Amino acid sequence: MEYQPNTNRYSQMQYRRCGNSGIQLPAISLGLWHNFGHLDEFENSRAILQTAFDSGITHFDLANNYGPPPGSAEKVFGKILQEDFDGYRDEMIISTKAGYTMWDGPYGDWGSKKYLVASLDQSLKRMELDYVDIFYHHRPDPNTPLEETMAALDLIVKQGKALYVGLSNYPAAEADKAIQILKQLGTPCLIHQPKYSMFVRWAEEELLDVLEKEKVGCIPFSPLAQGLLTNKYLDGIPSDSRAAKAHGYLQQTDVTESRLQQIKELNEIAIQRNQSLAQMALAWLLKDPRVSSVLVGASKPEQLADSLLCLKNIVFSQEELNRIEKIIE
């Protein structure tokens, strides 16, 4: 059966201005880091994307190396785009990135102009797109001059291959420098994508202040701390969880007794707010007006629908915030 998007999709989502730009992003955006590769169930990936679009999610975030295998998330996304979303491209913000290892040899990694331009050309082919809306440098490169990396982002916009550019994983001082260089080149930085959650808070040290001062948007990734901020770990480590799999980003050593205790105490506050722990963790990020959108992943459509319920309550009392701080300390 041919997919017909929900006609009420835009009334279901809150949209936020992204930095000093004409772009508004949905409060919740969909990240395709996991669950969209060739090893994943295609029909499930398709159902997640349809659920997202039906719910007013317009922003879909990819990177060259998302899969597994690397590149396959862009291919799967491109196929679903052609089959289900033909005619809706202009209602979407599609982003991709380059900065991690993508192919062999010295030109398939980090931040050279050679790598970034070639990588985006490959990404566009995989997704069958003429351009992306946002192209990010995925991580800082200690060995390439920042001027070269930013000149590559500027070139890509001037070539018409991306409309906006962003940074990801850049610490505050380096982000500030990059933002200044982009400004001088005439291609302002639209957005920064840091790892940020109740449990990972380095962005609060200086980065958020830099982004606010420079009017650059912020879109946290891993807002649920790889699943720790969900009900999954309330009774310890389940056998099917990321922490139980040795090859995952979340190790069993991350799930300490004290961490599990924090999760349980935070969950009690969530229950009092009529939210799941995951919904509260997303709402906690969205309470900050400097956060333009929060990137969530989903392994099935129901999980995404559940995350979206966080938007029903993103207001916290001072007492709740104080209690949360005390637990997280």
Global confidence as pTM: 0.96
Q: What is the CATH number of domain 9-328?
A: 3.20.20.100
% of the chain surpassing 90 pLDDT = 91
Take residue 169 and report the two structure tokens written for it: 């994983």
Helices (H), 110-226: 113-127, 146-158, 172-185, 207-214
Question: How high is the pLDDT of residue 56?
Answer: 98
Question: How high is the pLDDT of residue 100?
Answer: 98
Instruction: Give the start-to-end residue ranges of the domains of the chain.
Output: 9-328
* Cα atoms in the Cβ-side hemisphere of radius 13 Å centred on 325: 7
> Left (φ > 0), alpha (ψ -120 to 50) or beta: where does 168 sit?
beta
For the stretch 231-263, what's the b/e string if a residue is b when 16 or more beta carbons lie within 10 angstroms of its beta carbon?
Answer: ebbeeebeeebbbeeeeeebeeebbeeeebebb
- CA 246 to chain centroid: 24
- 9-64: per-residue pLDDT in tens? 999 999 999 999 999 999 999 999 999 999 999 999 999 999 999 999 999 999 99
Whether residue 80 is predicted with pLDDT greater than 70 in this model: the reply is: yes
- 223-247: per-residue pLDDT in tens? 999 999 999 888 877 776 666 665 5
Q: How far apart are alpha carbons 254 and 243 in whole angstroms?
A: 8
Question: Tokens 């970034």 belong to which residue?
Answer: 116
% of the chain surpassing 70 pLDDT = 96
Mean of pLDDT over the chain: 96
Take residue 79 and report the two structure tokens written for it: 């196929």
Q: Are 96 and 33 in contact (CB under 8 A)?
A: no
Backbone Cα Rg of the chain? 19
